[in-house]
Structure 1
Amino acid sequence: MINRKIKDAIIRYSDELITLRRKLHSEPELSWEEENTTAFVCEYLDSLGISNRRTEPTGVIAEIRGAESGKTVALRGDMDALSVEQLKKYLPYASKFKGKMHACGHDAHTAMLLIAAKALSEVKDELPGNVRLLFQPAEEVCQGAKAMIEQGAIQDVDNVFGIHIWSQMPTQKVSCTPGPSFASTDIFKVHFKGKGGHGAIPQDCIDAAIVASSFVMNVQTVVSRTIDPQSPAVITVGKMNVGTRFNVIAENAFIEGTVRCFDKDIQDHIEECIVRYAQNVANMYSATVEVEYIRGTPPVINEEESAKLVQKVAAEAFGEEVLYTEKPTMAGEDFSFFLDETLGSFAFVGCGNRDKDTDWSHHHGNFDIDEDALSIGAELYAQYAWAFLNKKDY
């Protein structure tokens, strides 16, 4: 199942892998702004003789065609950074741009996929099929995967595999379990309208602050009292904007929040409940309400055979001790859109090391990775593609 030439190539290119990651880390670009990253990826692939094309407005789809006809497996690495200020400014590869940082590890994903591509290109004459490389923009705004799919990313693809570097897991560990991995990520917006007036004359008013507060308290019972406690779900109200002045009763209240779960039926149920609770609370206080519910990414659900293949590849490539069971996270990932189109799986590769100060949370200004994880991720990409294309009974 494991190709020795691929393993040797990853070892040979390990220093280059770190160099690539550090270059990308120092030059972060936000979602839909990945112009230089896209150009760099295309230039690198051109140097390897790998066919590639830009997607619009940013992103790259490339293809390594094997000597024999067969299936096509896609490997995805995202490229965008976040609007986060880097706090570890002493790092030699710290971000060059104020307020922009690779605070989630997408620089590592891009570098790992480039070196995986380099290793796979050296064995292309032995590949019984094709490897498609997806360098995706705009994951952080949950839009890039959809845009790439619309531009042919998954056309004729039999399986798709992605990796997320993960600081909550120790370095030298890989997790890919069948079933839920990342949650759905919906957004709701609620506007309550009451009747404003003087704070000393409440009887003539309808206080939007009271209405909004009642909704925020009551909507939590959707999870605690209407959903099976063995089915994880979260409703979070993250923003509330109410009132204008200390002695003026608020006429308007604006609320924004997010819903996370792993089941589409629960997703539907929560949406219905939020709309109903908002309407009933408004009616109780004689206010009016407008509700906007925005479906974000679906949950990432690893297909069983694909996830088991990742486990087999990881165990054979790095030893049984590398296997780790990471709990599903309520964070979101637009890789789920790829899994809506074809079979596949999504793996965590640990990069957390307290001794190296790389166990900070993703999206934090202190986030960094243990670079020993890079070669594991690069090899896992390449070896998975090799194993899938050579697996006769999949």
Structure 2
Amino acid sequence: MIHAKIKEAIQAYNDELVELRRKFHSEPELSFEEYKTTAFVCGYLEKLGISYRKTEPTGVIATIEGGKQGKTVGLRADMDALTVEELNKDLPYASKEEGKMHACGHDAHMAMLLIAAKALNDCKEELPGNVRLIFQPAEEVAAGAKVMVKQGAMDGVDNVFGIHIWSQLPTGTVSCTPGPSFASADLFTVMFKGRGGHGAMPQACIDAAVVASSFVMNVQSVVSRTVDPLQPAVLTVGKMVVGTRFNVIAENAVIEGTVRCFDPAVRDHIEQQLSQYAEQVAAVYGATAKVEYKRGTQAVINDEDSAKLVQQTAAAAFGAGVIRHEKPTMGGEDFSEYMMEAPGSFALVGSGNPEKDTQWAHHHGKFNVDEDALATGAELYAQYAWAYLNK
């Protein structure tokens, strides 16, 4: 299951792996703006002699063609950064772009996949099949995977595998449990319209602020009282814009929020209930309501065979003690789009280390990666591809 030459290669390329990650970290680019990053990845693959093509507007699809006939396994890394101000100003590789930061580990993902590709390319004549490399833009806005699939990223792919650096797990550990991993993530907007007027004459008005506040307080019962408590679900109102002036009764209110769950039936139910609650609350006050519900990412549900292969591969490569069983997260991940095309799995590689101050939550300005975790991720990418193609 484990290829000794791959392990040796990853170890030999470790300094380059760290250097790549630091380069990506210092030069963050936002979703669908990853032009310099795309150009660099293309140049790196070209030097290795790996065939590739750019996708629009950004992103790269490449293929390592094995020396023997077989299946095709896909490996994915995301590329985009966040609109987060880096607080680790003392790092020699801190972000050079004000207000932009790789605060979720995508810099690590790219570096790990490039080095995995280099190691696999070294032994490509032994590969019984092909390895599809997917460098994906715009994961943070839940749009990049769909674009990559439409442009052929999964054409001919039999199985797909992805990795996410995870600061909540100790450095070097690996979690890939069969079943639910990341929740579906949807966005909703509710617009209430009342009747504005002078703050001193409420009897002549319909106060949109009161309507919106009532909705926010009551809508939580959609989850607490209409969803099976054994079915995980989250409904969060994150933004409310209402009113224009301290002494004017608001005519309009706009609420934005998100819904997270794993079960499609629960998802449908919450969407329907949101509209019902908004309309009924508005009716109580004589206002009107309009609801827009946008479906984002699908739930990431790890295929059982693929997830078990990840566990077996990680145990064989690093020892059985690295295996963890992280609980599903209500966070979203558009890796699910690839898994709608072929079975696969999505693993978490631990990078949390309080001694190196890398235990900060993802999307925080002090987020950082314990670089000792990079070799684990790079080897897991490559060894999984080898193990799958040799099944």
**TM-score if structure 2 supplies the norm length?**
0.99
One-letter amino acid of the counterpart of residue 210, structure 1: V
Aligned counterparts of 2:37 and 2:205: Cα–Cα separation in 1 = 55
1:39: which partner in 2? 39
The 5 Å alignment of 1:215-230 reads 215-230=215-230
Percent identical among aligned pairs is 72
In structure 1, distance between residues paired with 2:223 and 2:206: 28
Secondary structure at the counterpart of residue 245 of structure 1? coil
Counterpart in the other structure of 1:327: 327
Corresponding letter in the other structure for 1:322? V
Task: Give the distance between the partners of 1:243 and 1:124, measured in 2 at CA.
Answer: 63
Q: Deviations over 1:199-242 (max 9, x none)?
A: 22111111111111111111100100011111110000000011
- Aligned residue for 2:324, secondary structure, equals coil
Q: Distance in 1 between matches of 2:49 and 2:148?
A: 22
| Pairing 1:251–2:246 present | no
* AA partner of residue 80 (structure 1): D
Aligned mates of 1:97, 1:293 — CA distance in 2: 34
Give the Cα separation in 1 of the matches to 2:154 and 2:218.
43
Counterpart amino acid of residue 290 in structure 1: K
User: C-alpha separation between the residues in 2 aligned to 1:248 and 1:54?
Assistant: 53
Amino acid of the residue matched to residue 320 of structure 2? E
Matched residues in 2 for 1:92 and 1:213: separation? Answer: 47
Question: What is the alpha-carbon distance in structure 2 between the residues aligned to residue 249 and residue 115 of structure 1?
Answer: 60
Give 1:248's aligned amino acid.
Answer: V
Q: Quote the offset at 1:197 in angstroms.
A: 1.2
| C-alpha distance in 2 between matches for 1:54 and 1:241 | 40
Q: Counterparts of 1:218 and 1:69 in 2: how far apart (Å)?
A: 59
Q: Which residue of 2 aligns with 1:185?
A: 185
Q: 1:309-337: per-residue Cα shift (whole Å, max 9, x none)?
A: 00000000000000011111111111011
Q: How large is the RMSD of aligned CA atoms in angstroms?
A: 0.6
> Where does residue 140 of structure 2 map in the other structure?
140
TM-score computed with the length of structure 1 as normaliser: 0.99
SS at match of 2:257: strand
Q: What residue in structure 2 maps to residue 53 of structure 1?
A: 53
1:152 is matched with 152
Aligned to 1:390: 390
* Structure 2 Cα separation of the partners of residues 75 and 251 of structure 1: 51
Cross-structure match for 1:195: 195
Cα drift, residue 60 of structure 1 = 0.4
SS of alignment partner, residue 381 of structure 1: helix
> Which residue of the partner structure matches residue 99 of structure 2?
99
1:81 Cα deviation (Å)? 0.5
Secondary structure at the aligned position of 1:19 is classed as: helix
Matched positions, count: 391
2:114 is aligned with 1:82: no
Question: What is the CA deviation profile of residues 218-267 of structure 1, one whole-angstrom value per residue up to 9, with x for unaligned ones?
Answer: 11001000111111100000000111122211111110000001111111
> What residue identity is the alignment partner of 1:129?
G
Tell me the distance in 2 between the aligned counterparts of 1:214 and 1:20.
51
For residue 373 of structure 2, give the secondary structure of its aligned residue in structure 1: helix
Matched, 1:16 2:53: no
Structure 2 residue runs of 5 or longer lacking an equivalent are: none
Counterpart Cα distance in 2 of 1:243 and 1:283 = 20
Q: Which amino acid aligns with 2:232?
A: P
Q: Which amino acid aligns with 1:199?
A: G
1:7 aligns with 2:22: no
Of 378-387 and 208-217, the range deviating more from structure 2? 208-217
Q: How big is the shift at 1:52?
A: 0.6
Unaligned runs of 5+ in 1: none
Separation in structure 1 between the aligned mates of residue 277 and residue 31 of structure 2, nearest angstrom: 35
